[in-house]
């Protein structure tokens, strides 16, 4: 009897085996999730060439904007990199030229958080560019806890992610119409589902945490895109918007220590690479499949559905009307 008892596993042994098994199962689950995310990520397979096309990409100096610029330059497009940081943008320009052997890459100053900068950029484009074939609203920013206010007195995340693109589109619309067929591509996000747009607080200074306003701004992008598409019906200028996926990009750089440590682990382990994240933008900018599609939402290079709140046309129209006031459109500036 004593011999049999001696071979029974101890309590510590059973506990250790349980912990090891649980850890292995957890790791296997994480790897399975990562594998699933990789194989289900959309990829743009179109080989459409872009010679003779002029493409404006905001925020093209990093993240998915950089990958989009690189891909379209490889297709022969003339790229205008509209960026806030000119030093970084010029370095990226040199990198793209070297990789693609395409010298038709321009860098121009644009700070979407400044209405003055948006107007200066647009005036330069209208003066120097006879056409715009594709306008890609890619640039975006996210703050962590405490927000900031732009020089125009507008909450900075909303100024950069919504009001700046809204104003820029108005100022360039005549060139886009003249260039038809032309495309407008807007990078939104599935994170809109975590928010709502408060029409009574469209300049949400003081919101805490400020990170929430990133979600709100992406919801505003969707309202803007849908209303814009309606207003451009019959012009042969299409408008589509997308969720790029959760991306391992610079948008998360404002997450403070120590919260950035688990965030870093998540982004590196499960988020898309910037190249993978750029695929739907590239698809909407180049594919013949969407040449006549407008006002639609895409994810992983396929059309996706929106929730009921995002389909509220009355609310989208009200946001449009209030945005006109916030960006201070003058009677002399183009209307849509």
Active-site residue list: 214
CA distance 281 to 138: 9
Question: Is residue 129 a contact partner of residue 179, using CB atoms and an 8 Å limit?
Answer: no
CA distance 300 to 17: 41
Distance of CA 155 to the CA centre of its chain: 19
CA distance 224 to 316: 7
Q: List the Cα angle 316/318/320 in 5-degree steps.
A: 70
What are the DSSP E strand ranges found in 152-274? 182-187, 237-243
Share of the chain residues as helix, strand and coil, in percent rounded to the nearest 5: 50, 15, 35
CA distance 298 to 301: 6
């Amino acid at each position: 009897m004593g011999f049999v008892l001696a071979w029974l596993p101890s309590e510590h042994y059973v506990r250790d085996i349980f912990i090891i098994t649980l850890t292995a199962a957890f790791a296997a689950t994480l790897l399975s999730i990562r594998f699933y995310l990789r194989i289900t990520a959309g990829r743009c397979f179109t080989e459409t060439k872009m010679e003779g096309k002029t493409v404006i990409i905001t925020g093209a100096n990093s993240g998915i904007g950089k990958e989009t610029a690189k891909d379209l330059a490889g297709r022969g497009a003339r790229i205008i990199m509209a960026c806030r940081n000119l030093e970084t943008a010029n370095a990226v320009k040199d990198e793209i030229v070297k990789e693609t052997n395409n010298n038709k890459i321009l860098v121009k100053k644009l700070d979407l958080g400044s209405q003055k900068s948006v107007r200066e950029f647009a005036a330069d484009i209208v003066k120097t560019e006879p056409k715009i074939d594709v306008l890609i609203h890619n640039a975006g920013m996210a703050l962590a806890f405490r927000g900031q206010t732009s020089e125009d007195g507008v909450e900075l995340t909303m100024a950069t992610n919504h009001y700046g693109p809204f104003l820029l589109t108005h100022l360039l619309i005549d060139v886009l119409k003249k260039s038809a067929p032309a495309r407008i591509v807007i990078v939104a996000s599935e994170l809109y589902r975590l928010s709502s747009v408060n029409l009574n607080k469209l300049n949400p200074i003081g919101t805490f945490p400020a990170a929430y306003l990133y979600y709100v701004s992406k919801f505003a992008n969707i309202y803007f895109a849908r209303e814009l598409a309606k207003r451009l019906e019959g012009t042969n200028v299409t408008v589509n918007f997308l969720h790029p996926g959760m991306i391992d990009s610079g948008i998360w750089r404002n997450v403070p220590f120590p919260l950035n440590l688990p965030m870093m682990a998540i982004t590196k382990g499960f988020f898309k690479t910037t190249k993978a994240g750029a695929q739907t933008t590239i698809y909407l900018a180049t594919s013949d499949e969407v040449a006549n599609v407008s006002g639609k939402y895409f994810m992983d290079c396929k059309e996706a559905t929106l929730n009921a709140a995002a389909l509220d046309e009355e609310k989208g129209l009200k946001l449009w009307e209030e945005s006109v006031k916030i960006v201070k459109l003058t009677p002399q500036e183009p209307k849509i």
